[in-house]
Amino acid sequence: MMERLQVNRVGISRALDRLEKLMPAKVAANKPLAKNNTFRVGGPASIFVIADSLHELNIIVGAINDYDLPFLFLGRGSNLLISDSGFAGIVLQLGKEFQKITVAENEMIAGAAVTLTALAQTALKHSLDGLSFVVGIPGTLGAAVAINAGSYKNQMSDIVRKITTYDIHNQNPRLISLNHEEIGFGYRSTKLSHDTIILEAKLVLRPGQSGHIKREMETNWRHRKEKQPLGKPSAGSIFKNPNGYAAGRLIEESGCKGRRVGGAMVSAKHANFIINTGDASAMDIYRLIKEIQAEVKSQTGIQLETEIRMAGDFHEN
């Protein structure tokens, strides 16, 4: 049983007052989050705020620290399940200043809020190879780096050389540069804490032929379209692949392909995807995840580990 989350209502109210005075156009109270994640589920954020600059980020982090509030760093909302009750704290999204891309020879420096699609298109424009694998992956660069997102062949650790992060707990230094080793890349993971805010990343790519790169991008897109339920709301792969196994195959062989809980269903196209058929709740998806884990564990002895993050309260009444 999950422990209920305590709500700091006084802190939320005071933080909202401060942020509405200092950056009123960037703040929303009790904002529904279903349209801000790829599952299309989830309740409201107590405070939703966009930081378009480092100055605005400093203001927001000041409120987080002064009022001891939980925060959720949100990119495009892929790889994420937000509870039906929403998020009792500050949901933070990076904006304009963090959407820039600069290219010098075979190196690219990009802000954390740049979408992976925009990143791949920029690489193609400059005839740089190494980013074709991100085509079809929803989300932003910052989120992709944080979980070492990838495909069956490549992952972010292949191209990321350095990142700039923002430390919400310390002012000196506030901005910290981490090299490849310090990031601590692993399979769909890094050593970065959940409190780490990635601001930008330096990528090292390879000079290539634009025609070849474009064909590779098209091939990767077709592969994802054929193998994955891209037309339905989902969060991407739900579970990490256990060592030596494919999670999708384990789920399918355990008889869970096509299983439903409410409006949530294990995709008939790829068993490691759960789709929202149109009226799913976050709790439907959560319960289906638990059923899959129990079934696979019962039949194979293998405990599937989730790849997606969960935010909010999933306490069962």
Catalytic center residues: 188, 237, 307
Nearest to 86 by CA among 49, 41, 50, 51: 41
The token duo for 168 is 């919400």
Using only C-alpha atoms, the chain has a radius of gyration, in whole angstroms, of: 20
Nearest to 205 by CA among 112, 101, 115: 101
The token duo for 188 is 């769909």
Q: How far apart are CA 292 and CA 269, in angstroms?
A: 16
The token duo for 139 is 């989300």
For residue 221, give Cα distances in angstroms to 50, 122, 136, 190, 224.
31, 17, 6, 26, 5
First vs last Cα of the chain: how many Å apart?
Answer: 10
Instruction: Decide if 79 contacts 65 (C-beta within 8 A).
Output: no
Instruction: Decide if 48 contacts 60 (C-beta within 8 A).
Output: no
Quote the distance between the C-alpha of residue 259 and its chain's center.
Answer: 25
